Amino acid sequence: MNVKKGIAILGSTGSIGTQALEVIGAYPDIFDLQVITAHSNADLLIEQAIKHLPNAVVIGDETLYEKVKQSLWDYDITVYSGEAALSQVVEFHEIHTVLTALVGYAGLKPTLAAIRAKKTIALANKETLVCAGELVTKLARENGVNIYPVDSEHSAIFQCLVGEFHNKIEKIYLTASGGPFRGWSTEQLKTVTLAQALKHPNWAMGAKITIDSATMMNKGLEVIEAKWLFSLKAEQIDVIVHPQSIVHSLVQFEDGSMKAQMGLPDMKLPIQFALTYPDRLKTDFPRFNFMDYPQLTFEKADKETFKNLDLAYKAMEMEGTAACILNAANEVAVDAFLNEKISFLDIARINEETLNNCISIQKPEYEDFVESDRQAREFAKSLV
Which residue ranges make up the site for Mg ion (CB under 5 A)? 151-153
* CA-closest candidate to residue 254, choices 173, 170, 172: 170
Residue 183's CB: how many other CB atoms inside 10 A?
A: 11
* CA-closest candidate to residue 236, choices 310, 174, 177, 297: 174
Residue 118 DSSP SS3: coil
- Chosen residue from 20, 80, 111, 127 binding ligand NDP by CB under 6 A: 127
* Total residue length of the chain: 384
Using rule CB under 6 A, residue 249 touches ligand NDP: no
- Chosen residue from 34, 41, 215, 272 binding ligand NDP by CB under 6 A: 41
Provide, rounded to whole angstroms, the least separation between the CB of residue 163 and Mg ion. 23
Q: Which does 46 bind (CB under 5 to 8 A by kind): Mg ion, ligand NDP, none?
A: none
Provide, rounded to whole angstroms, the least separation between the CB of residue 364 and Mg ion. 26
Residues of span 137-166 touching ligand NDP by CB under 6 A = 151
Q: Which does 205 bind (CB under 5 to 8 A by kind): ligand NDP, Mg ion, none?
A: ligand NDP
Using rule CB under 6 A, residue 15 touches ligand NDP: yes
Residue 235 to residue 238: CA distance in whole angstroms:
7
Provide, rounded to whole angstroms, the least separation between the CB of residue 154 and ligand NDP. 9
Number of residues that bind ligand NDP (CB under 6 A): 28
Please list, in sequence order, all residues whose beta carbon lies within 8 angstroms of the beta carbon of residue 327, skipping any fewer than 6 positions away: 105, 127, 130, 131, 221, 373
Helix (H), strand (E) at residue 117: none
Tell me whether residue 263 or residue 361 sits nearer to ligand NDP (CB atom).
Answer: 263
For ligand NDP, which stretch binds (CB under 6 A), given 207-215, 278-286, 339-347, 362-370? 207-215
Estimate the crossing angle of helix 126-142 against helix 108-116, to 10 degrees: 20
Using rule CB under 6 A, residue 368 touches ligand NDP: no
Residue 180 to residue 15: CA distance in whole angstroms:
19
Residues that bind ligand NDP (CB under 6 A): 11-17, 38-41, 60, 101-103, 106, 124-127, 151, 203, 205-209, 267
